[in-house]
């Protein structure tokens, strides 16, 4: 039995009743990976289990328990706020994401292909939504010299206690080939990284992306003007990072073949690192030039180098017309012909400049176009989330979840990406009904739904897309 479910063995080994109890709570949810269960429980009780590496803060155990408690309440459909609810699997759910995620778990466990969240950053600023977990009078990110360890702990513990159970629930919804992207800035990035290592596993880390969120510095900044946010990316054990479309620069393809196709030449002799004969002895052999002479891969300074290809590959490419011999001052040299490729792709990089991924001002304009100016603080640009969709989803009917939905940018990104590539991705957004003080949308969840409604209406007016819709649901605390 222990072989089948090894976490049970850890339970037997432990004399700590709290360890046993937490394990029991986790093990009740049979789908949970036993190794992960052990890691979570050990990390949670870390302080009492002797000195060990990990992130510890006050309230951690309580937060884990909170995440493991059974769900309360239920989700109630609200038809008058929905659009074509009978014909869609898109959902906007109003409520606290902790309760909503618990309610979604039985239905969506292991089903979600991509999660994007943009949680409050704990900046201490006054936004339309709560963005501070610190005590009154605390001076934001900058610790006071008089602050003791307790005050520093309290400043971050509230935020960690909020994030921890939600990330645990999120990890259970992710497909084995799924990916989670989390936006954050310097206030909490280092704590979030450790937290995600703990919840998802250090080995599941894929990247920390730097996104250039502004196109010019803030001239009124005191000290540094922050140009970027971070996006932490973790993936399931089978996650695959899709390559991105890549437009090659026409000016780099200065040659044209007989069929009129642009190409460029690349030396067949390897250059740069690992380009010596001793690095690849099998790639040191003579090739026959057009005048019958033998040419060896020798560098201009006389050092023995190596070819890029095996002899077999050279013969194949030569026969296919992809090799060009050029006679220079030092004799004949072979080159590979590289053709321009309209479908070229490249791996995503870890620095996303505003020109390709959008910026904060663009995001505010996109929202203003739909709902009017200044209705929401710090939305993200649609292009930013579309880039994540390109990297993590395949364009089939992948499910995309955003449980800190804000103004609903993720829904717009999904709808627009589907429009572009014919995908049938579905979205689930979760948003708390925090009051906005704005007449047309009294709560943020009203605003979320209204944005998505207007995106859909705009598509209808333009006669594009397949008439998408969404079901609006509300978390309701009373018994059914």
Cα–Cα dist 14/437, whole Å: 53
Length of the chain as a residue count = 480
Structure tokens at 22: 């937490």
Cα–Cα dist 424/466, whole Å: 10
- 304 DSSP assignment: B
Taking the least distance from each CB to ligand SAM, the nearer of 26 and 169 is 169
Taking the least distance from each CB to ligand SAM, the nearer of 11 and 354 is 354
| Smallest separation (angstroms) from ligand SAM to the CB of 360 | 10
| Smallest separation (angstroms) from ligand SAM to the CB of 164 | 13
Instruction: Tell me whether residue 165 is exposed, middle or buried, using C-beta atoms within 10 angstroms of its C-beta: 0 to 12, 13 to 18, 19 or more.
Output: buried
Is the distance from CB of 476 to CB of 96 less than 8 angstroms? no
Name the site residues for ligand SAM (rule: CB under 6 A). 96-97, 118-120, 129, 376, 378-380, 404, 406-407, 409, 430-432, 434, 444
| Smallest separation (angstroms) from ligand SAM to the CB of 463 | 27
Give CA torsion, residues 36, 40, 45, 46, to 10 deg: 80
Q: What is the Cβ-side half-sphere exposure of residue 181, based on CA atoms within 13 angstroms?
A: 26
The DSSP bridge pattern shows strands 351-352 and 205-212 to be parallel
| Smallest separation (angstroms) from ligand SAM to the CB of 158 | 12
Taking the least distance from each CB to ligand SAM, the nearer of 37 and 384 is 384
Taking the least distance from each CB to ligand SAM, the nearer of 175 and 213 is 213
| Smallest separation (angstroms) from ligand SAM to the CB of 147 | 26
Sign of the dihedral through C-alpha 39, 14, 65, 155: negative
Taking the least distance from each CB to ligand SAM, the nearer of 407 and 417 is 407
Per DSSP, the three-state class of 12 is helix
Residue with the two structure tokens 């710090």 = 378
Is the distance from CB of 177 to CB of 238 less than 8 angstroms? yes
Say which residues have a Cβ less than 8 Å from residue 215's Cβ, sequence separation at least 6. 354, 359, 361
| Smallest separation (angstroms) from ligand SAM to the CB of 128 | 7
Taking the least distance from each CB to ligand SAM, the nearer of 27 and 438 is 438
| Smallest separation (angstroms) from ligand SAM to the CB of 13 | 36
Taking the least distance from each CB to ligand SAM, the nearer of 97 and 333 is 97
């Amino acid at each position: 039995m222990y072989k089948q479910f090894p976490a049970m063995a850890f339970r037997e080994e432990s004399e700590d009743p709290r360890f046993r109890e937490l394990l029991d709570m986790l093990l009740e949810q049979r789908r949970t990976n036993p190794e992960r269960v052990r890691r979570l429980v050990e990390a949670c009780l870390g302080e009492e289990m002797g000195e060990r590496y990990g992130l510890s803060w006050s309230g951690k155990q309580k937060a884990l328990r909170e995440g493991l408690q059974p769900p309360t309440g239920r989700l109630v459909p609200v038809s008058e706020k929905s659009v074509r609810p009978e014909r869609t699997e898109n959902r906007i759910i109003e409520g606290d994401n902790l309760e909503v995620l618990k309610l979604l778990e039985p239905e969506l466990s292991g089903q979600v292909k991509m999660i994007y969240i943009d949680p409050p950053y704990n900046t201490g600023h006054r936004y339309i939504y709560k963005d501070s977990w610190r005590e009154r009078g605390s001076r934001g990110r900058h610790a006071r010299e008089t602050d003791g360890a307790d005050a520093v702990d309290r400043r971050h513990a509230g935020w960690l206690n909020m994030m921890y159970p939600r990330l645990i629930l999120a990890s259970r919804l992710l497909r084995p080939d799924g990916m989670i992207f989390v936006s954050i800035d310097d206030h909490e990035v280092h704590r979030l990284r450790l937290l995600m290592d703990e919840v998802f596993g250090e080995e599941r880390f894929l990247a920390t992306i730097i996104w250039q969120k502004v196109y010019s510095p803030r001239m009124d900044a005191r000290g540094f003007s922050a140009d970027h946010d971070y996006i932490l990316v973790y993936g399931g054990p089978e996650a695959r990072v899709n390559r991105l479309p890549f437009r090659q620069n026409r000016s780099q393809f200065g040659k044209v073949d007989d069929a009129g196709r642009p190409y460029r030449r690349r030396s067949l002799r390897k250059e740069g690192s690992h380009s010596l004969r001793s690095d690849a002895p099998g790639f040191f052999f003579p090739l026959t030039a057009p005048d019958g002479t033998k040419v060896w891969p020798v560098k201009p300074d006389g050092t023995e180098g190596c070819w890029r290809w095996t002899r077999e590959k050279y013969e194949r490419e030569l026969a296919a017309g992809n090799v060009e011999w050029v006679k220079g001052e030092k004799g004949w040299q072979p080159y590979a012909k590289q053709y321009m490729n309209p479908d070229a792709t490249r791996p995503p990089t870890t620095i996303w400049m505003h020109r390709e991924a959008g910026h904060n001002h663009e995001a505010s304009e996109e929202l203003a176009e739909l709902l009017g100016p200044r209705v929401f603080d710090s939305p993200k640009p649609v292009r930013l989330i579309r880039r994540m969709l390109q990297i993590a989803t395949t364009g089939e009917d992948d499910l995309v979840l955003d449980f800190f939905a804000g103004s609903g940018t993720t829904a717009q990104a999904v709808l627009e990406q589907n429009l572009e590539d014919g995908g049938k991705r579905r979205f689930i957004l979760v948003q708390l009904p925090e009051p906005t003080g704005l007449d047309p949308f009294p709560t943020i969840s009203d605003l979320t739904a209204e944005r998505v409604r207007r995106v859909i209406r705009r598509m209808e007016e333009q006669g594009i897309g397949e008439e998408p819709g969404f079901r609006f649901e509300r978390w309701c605390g009373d018994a059914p």
